[in-house]
Amino acid sequence: MNKFIGFITEKGGVSKTMSSVNFAHILAVSGYRVLFIDLDAQMNATDMLMMGTEYECPCYTELLCRRVKDADSLYTEFIYESNFELIDCIPGSPILKDIIYDIHSESQKGFSVFTCLRQNIGLVRDDYDYVMIDTNPGDTTLTRCAICACDGVLSPIKADNFSFSGVTGLLQTIIGLKQSCNVSVEFMGMFFADVNVSSSGYKRVKEWYEENYGEYILPVSIRHSVQVSDSTLRYLPLLVACRRHGTTDDYIRLVRSLGLIDDAHDKRLERYLLPRRAKSGQVPSEAPADNAAGQGGSHG
């Protein structure tokens, strides 16, 4: 079972942050303890999980280029409670923009920086069921540190031709790092995100991907929906912003399809999903799932 999961693509704007935040929240609602690491200087995930909470941007040079002393130091200096039960967070920081210079200068000293994050986070491995890592776009030294810290990598892709080059590059980078850093990291697959599943463009692109990357295409695609941008305006994961909605349901099915939720935790998730009944009668407290972007039913 992959416990440290990174959302990584070379392309930006493909739903890495949206997916990592919602994966983390679905797992937490299912009863798993989750640590979220925001490795993006834009800090969108931190905003989603920690809006209104007091925290200091951590010194990422320590986390990425030096050995943290022990788990206590990690908790004191880096890890904060998020706004959501069972999710702790290492917030992002604007210094991540320039962190590659620190990483490069440390690597000149012969220090093995690529595996440093992995070792540091490993100090709290037993305290969490899952660690979700959101990353910056591009193939940078920082994303390479993130890949080395992961047991598994997931890649959201858009239904366009531009996503393609990003994925082939990532697969090569993973193979290279497995060899050069002797880490065991699995490419768990790619999934379409933010797509209009009834459009001919999506169907064509998906077919092409399935022909060329069959084994790597995950069986659930995430539908485009305006509720997603609304949820970011409210800094809420989809299960809170719109619990019974097509796109929310897509994320739940995707998490389940990866086998990340065992039966006992799935029961807890099911209980959370039960429509809440108004005191007087049978009326659900939220509107039934509208089919996002007008595309209902199962797909994938």
Ligand X SMILES: Nc1ncnc2c1ncn2[C@@H]1O[C@H](COP(=O)(O)OP(=O)(O)O)[C@@H](O)[C@H]1O
150-175 burial, b at 16+ Cβ within 10 Å, e below that, comes to: bbbbbbbbbbeeebbebbeebeebbe
Task: Report what 228 binds from Mg ion, ligand X, none; CB cut-off 5-8 Å by kind.
Answer: ligand X
Nearer residue to ligand X within complex by CB, 144 or 223: 223
Footprint of ligand X on residues 181-220 (CB under 6 A)? 193-194
Cβ neighbours of 256 (radius 10 Å): 15
Kindly state the smallest distance separating residue 245's Cβ from Mg ion, in Å. Answer: 21
- Helix/strand/coil for 131: strand
Nearer residue to Mg ion within complex by CB, 16 or 25: 16
Q: Are 61 and 120 in contact (CB under 8 A)?
A: no
**β-pairing, 34-39 with 186-192?**
unpaired
Kindly state the smallest distance separating residue 279's Cβ from ligand X, in Å. Answer: 34
* Residues near 157 by beta carbon (within 8 Å), at least 6 away in sequence: 9, 11, 14, 163, 166, 167, 190, 191, 192, 193, 209
Q: Are 135 and 7 in contact (CB under 8 A)?
A: yes
Kindly state the smallest distance separating residue 247's Cβ from ligand X, in Å. Answer: 5
Kindly state the smallest distance separating residue 2's Cβ from ligand X, in Å. Answer: 20
Nearer residue to ligand X within complex by CB, 141 or 225: 225
**β-pairing, 4-7 with 80-81?**
unpaired
Kindly state the smallest distance separating residue 143's Cβ from Mg ion, in Å. Answer: 12
Length of the chain: 300
Binding mask 95-114 for ligand X (x = CB under 6 A): --------------------
Binding mask 5-44 for ligand X (x = CB under 6 A): -------xxxxxxx-------------------------x
Nearer residue to ligand X within complex by CB, 44 or 141: 44
Pick left, alpha or beta for residue 31 (phi over 0 → left; psi -120 to 50 → alpha; otherwise beta).
left
217 forms beta bridges with: 190
Kindly state the smallest distance separating residue 17's Cβ from Mg ion, in Å. Answer: 3
Nearer residue to ligand X within complex by CB, 13 or 284: 13
Kindly state the smallest distance separating residue 224's Cβ from Mg ion, in Å. Answer: 17
Which residues bind to Mg ion, rule: CB under 5 A? 16-17
* Using rule CB under 6 A, residue 224 touches ligand X: yes
Task: Report what 194 binds from Mg ion, ligand X, none; CB cut-off 5-8 Å by kind.
Answer: ligand X
**Helices then strands (H, E): number in the chain?**
13, 7
Q: Point out which residues bind ligand X (CB under 6 A).
A: 12-18, 44, 193-194, 222, 224-225, 228-229, 232, 247
